[in-house]
């Protein structure tokens, strides 16, 4: 607890404790971390996020009065506000130290309003990193509230409220209750639907490749050369088997001779340090983190983690940034670290400076470590597994961005056989440079990122005119593939490239469209549901501007103009709403009731014999009888694991807890209590032949074990046998998210009606 200097002030016979300075931040964790750096004259308290917002029960914007917002105290924040008022009254000076962005500036403005702090008072402090120097410097130089930032936040908030609260009720009436629309979420859904349409319309085309396996004369080691074209050097594609057969015939029995050898040195440069969007993308690709998970963990690293021997310490700089700018202090510290750790050869002659993208907000630095004496291994014991992995990713990326380029020796060899040109390319690393620390991962869509495709592929020493031994020719048939579905990483990249939304909006946007049932994920791929397609069709037909990529990107540019003081926020709202209001009236009249077709399954209803259909309920999809209300049969969708129960021999099925955590259980749950967090692998136990499982704890080092705990190769000892890591859920007593038979949902179909049933007896240890 922070020590504060107290003044005894006698008021109505009571002693009032007065602090010299009050510092207000958003979160308790941030308050505790800052408390380490400020002295006894400061009291640090948290507002716990926003304290005022537009009401949920109504639109909260008076369009007739120049879009005047109606802010109310957020439910449950009454005691917080009372405490803040009391602390402010008992302090000589108040500092508002919320996050250094639009949202943080707006929170400070709302705080200033309820605490009766004048707008021109120098009460605002902001810092890019929570370190002693940064916090102390900010406190020494407070500024006035930046009303341009506040107005940009208000404009965005009201725009989103107008779109959401005007279109969503229309969707409720015309399609289904519980739906929503939004500036960013609707465009995101459109991108996913458009990509699915491209995939469905794609017509695959045949093509062929031909490789020849060759070797130096009298040597065993072989290498591959790929057909390139005719001897004149013009590239030629092989479209059919007939063309390929003609090539094979043309080179049959021919000699292979080296025509030219080109050797060169290739330099590859590191990727820029992380900004919010690239961190989300790379964490998805490399760590398999969802965007919201990434933002949750990195928020912890920013606000402060309890480091052994140090206490609460912020490990990374501010996490919502569009800028790749790096402070001089960080450049100096990283240069010192690289020299000491890797040697002077790994440090460039001058620090690397990376250009920001268009519309980048340069108010903050890139995401980087805050303390260069706290490398990941030093703090590993103080971090959770998720925190360590993400911190190491940020650390490695930043250190690598200030290192020398990697150098490769590259060889390209042209080989002629009967007037046909084959080409072999090989490379070997000459100097690792930044790749000794980090290389950017590839997207799941197969597109190459910087850092891909440069593994070593050595060729033997070859000379012009040298004749080679022929070993084998390898023709291969291929078919062109449709564009890949979006993953979280590639969707975020697309939104960023098209200028839609801001990095802080990507994670909640993806969460929202998944929660609404507009899209689903299969492994990492995101695809639209029938509901998503129907809503997108309505939006594209009747609200074309809202889902237009260019229109939405232009709106983001106008919001940036407001932030920079170049445009009035109310004028922006007028420009948008005057046309939007007309579109709303037309849509209300033009949209008919939308009937969504049910997905019919081959599962027969055991009560009436109809084919059951898939419905969406409170806990997700379930099977329901289409004969409702005459037949109210409903049951969960069963996903079989493809293995048999080690106890009774029945089939094993996948199930989920109420919180969505996956586990396995015996299908015959009424008679058999087998269930486990540890999911099956493709392997079988070499001792007893039953299926193997991957331990749910231990991360990458988790070992596989036999499902039969009586087998010598059975279940290993866990830190906490009954609990899943990071939760208090028990797979032996967890509630299943299945519909309660006979309950009717608001949509008029059987669905889960309240608490999910428990799964029976506990398994014996």
Q: Which residues participate in catalysis according to the annotation?
A: 318
**Which residue has tokens 């802010």?**
71
Tokens of 50: 């926003």
Please tell me the total number of residues recorded for the chain in this structure: 765
Q: What are the Cα distances from residue 440, in Å, to 268, 286, 443, 523?
A: 12, 9, 10, 21
Distance CA 755, CA 323 (A): 46
Hey, how many other C-beta atoms are within 10 angstroms of the C-beta on 507?
20
Distance CA 342, CA 385 (A): 26
Beta strands at 467-479 and 206-216: parallel, antiparallel or unpaired: antiparallel
- The values of phi and psi at residue 226, to 5°, are -105, 140
Distance CA 293, CA 443 (A): 19
CB of 695 within 8 A of CB of 716?
Answer: yes
Eight-state DSSP code of residue 166: H
Cα R_g (the chain), whole angstroms:
31
Please give the torsion angle defined by the CA atoms of residues 133, 138, 140 and 143, in that order, rounded to the nearest 10 degrees.
170
Q: DSSP readout, 503-555?
A: HHHHHHHHHHHHHTTSEEEETTEEEE-HHHHHHHHHHHHH-TTTT-HHHHHHH
Hey, how many other C-beta atoms are within 10 angstroms of the C-beta on 2?
18
Task: Catalogue the long-range contacts made by 584-587 (C-beta closer than 8 Å, 24 or more residues apart).
Answer: 584/166, 584/167, 584/170, 586/542, 587/170, 587/538, 587/542, 587/543
Distance CA 104, CA 102 (A): 5
Hey, how many other C-beta atoms are within 10 angstroms of the C-beta on 234?
9
Q: DSSP readout, 643-664?
A: EE-TTT-PEEEEEE-TT--EEE
Closest CA to 411 of 462, 347, 360, 452: 462
Sign of CA dihedral 327, 333, 338, 343: positive
Q: Which H or E run includes 44?
A: strand 42-46
Distance CA 513, CA 526 (A): 10
Q: What are the start-end ranges of the H helices in 258-327?
A: 276-287, 291-303
Closest CA to 50 of 116, 108, 137: 108
Distance CA 503, CA 468 (A): 55
CB of 425 within 8 A of CB of 184?
Answer: no
Closest CA to 42 of 161, 179, 135: 135
Q: Is 624 helix (H, G, I), strand (E, B) or coil?
A: strand
Distance CA 138, CA 161 (A): 34
């Amino acid at each position: 607890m922070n020590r504060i200097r107290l003044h005894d002030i006698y008021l109505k016979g009571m002693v009032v404790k007065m602090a010299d300075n009050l510092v207000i931040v958003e979160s308790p964790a941030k308050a505790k971390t800052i408390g380490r750096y400020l002295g006894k004259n400061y009291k640090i308290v948290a507002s716990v996020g926003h304290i005022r917002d537009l009401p949920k029960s109504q639109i909260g914007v008076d369009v007739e009065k120049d879009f005047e917002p109606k802010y109310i105290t957020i439910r449950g924040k009454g005691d917080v506000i009372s405490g803040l008022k009391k602390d402010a009254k008992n302090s000589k000076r108040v500092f508002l130290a919320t996050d250094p962005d639009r949202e943080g500036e707006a929170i400070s403005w709302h705080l200033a309003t309820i605490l009766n702090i004048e707008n021109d008072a120098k009460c605002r402090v902001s810092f890019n990193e929570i370190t002693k120097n940064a916090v102390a410097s900010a406190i020494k130089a407070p500024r006035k509230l930046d009303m341009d930032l506040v107005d940009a936040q208000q404009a965005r908030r009201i725009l989103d409220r107008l779109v959401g609260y005007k279109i969503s009720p229309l969707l409720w009436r015309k399609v289904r209750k519980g739906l929503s629309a939004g500036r960013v979420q609707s465009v995101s859904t459109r991108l996913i639907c458009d990509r699915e349409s491209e995939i469905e319309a794609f017509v695959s085309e045949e093509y062929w490749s031909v490789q020849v396996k060759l070797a130096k004369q009298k040597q065993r080691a072989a290498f591959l050369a790929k057909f390139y074209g005719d001897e004149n050097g013009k590239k030629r594609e092989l479209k059919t088997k007939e063309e390929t057969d003609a090539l094979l015939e043309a080179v049959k029995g021919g000699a292979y001779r080296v025509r030219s050898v080109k050797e060169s040195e290739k330099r590859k440069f590191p990727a820029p340090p992380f900004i919010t969007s690239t961190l989300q993308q790379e964490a998805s690709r490399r760590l398999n983190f969802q965007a919201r998970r990434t933002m949750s963990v990195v928020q912890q690293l920013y606000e402060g983690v309890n480091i052994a021997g140090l206490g609460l310490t912020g490990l990374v700089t501010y996490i919502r940034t569009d800028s790749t700018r790096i402070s001089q202090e960080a450049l100096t510290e990283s240069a010192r670290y690289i020299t000491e750790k890797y040697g002077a050869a790994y440090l460039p002659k001058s620090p690397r400076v990376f250009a920001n993208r268009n519309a980048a907000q340069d108010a903050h630095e890139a995401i980087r470590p805050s303390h260069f004496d706290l490398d990941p291994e030093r703090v590993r014991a103080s971090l959770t597994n998720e925190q360590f992995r993400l911190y190491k990713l940020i650390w490695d990326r930043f250190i690598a961005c200030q290192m020398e380029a990697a150098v490769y020796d590259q060889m390209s060899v042209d080989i002629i056989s009967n007037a046909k040109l084959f080409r072999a390319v090989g490379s070997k690393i000459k100097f690792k440079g930044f790749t000794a620390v980090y290389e950017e991962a590839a997207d799941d869509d197969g597109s190459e990122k910087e850092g891909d495709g440069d593994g070593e592929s050595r060729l033997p020493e070859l000379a012009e005119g040298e004749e080679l031994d022929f070993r084998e020719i390898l023709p291969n048939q291929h078919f062109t593939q449709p564009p890949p579905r979006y993953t979280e990483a590639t969707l975020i990249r697309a939104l960023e490239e098209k200028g839609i939304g801001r990095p802080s909006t990507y994670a909640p946007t993806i969460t929202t469209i998944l929660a609404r049932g507009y899209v689903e994920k299969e492994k990492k791929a995101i695809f639209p549901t029938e509901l998503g397609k129907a809503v997108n069709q309505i939006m594209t037909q009747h609200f074309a501007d809202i889902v237009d990529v260019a229109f939405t990107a232009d709106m983001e540019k106008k919001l940036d103009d407001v932030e920079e003081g170049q445009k009035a926020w109310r004028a922006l709202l007028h420009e948008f709403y005057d046309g939007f209001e007309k579109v709303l009236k037309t849509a209300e009249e033009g949209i008919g009731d939308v009937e969504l077709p049910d997905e019919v399954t081959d599962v027969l209803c055991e009560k009436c014999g109809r084919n059951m259909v898939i419905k969406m309920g409170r806990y997700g999809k379930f099977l329901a009888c289409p004969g409702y209300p005459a037949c109210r049969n409903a049951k969960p969708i069963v996903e079989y694991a493809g293995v048999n129960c080690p106890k009774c021999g029945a089939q094993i099925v996948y199930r989920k807890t109420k919180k969505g955590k996956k586990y396995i259980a015996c299908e015959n749950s009424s008679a058999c209590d087998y269930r486990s967090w540890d999911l099956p692998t493709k392997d079988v136990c070499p001792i007893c032949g039953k299926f193997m499982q991957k331990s749910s704890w231990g991360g990458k080092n988790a070992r596989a074990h036999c499902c039969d705990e009586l087998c010598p190769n059975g279940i290993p000892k866990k830190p906490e046998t009954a609990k899943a890591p990071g939760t208090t859920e028990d797979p032996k007593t967890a509630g299943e998210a299945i519909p309660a038979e006979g309950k009717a949902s608001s949509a008029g179909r059987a669905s889960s009606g309240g608490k999910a049933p428990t799964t029976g007896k506990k398994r014996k240890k």
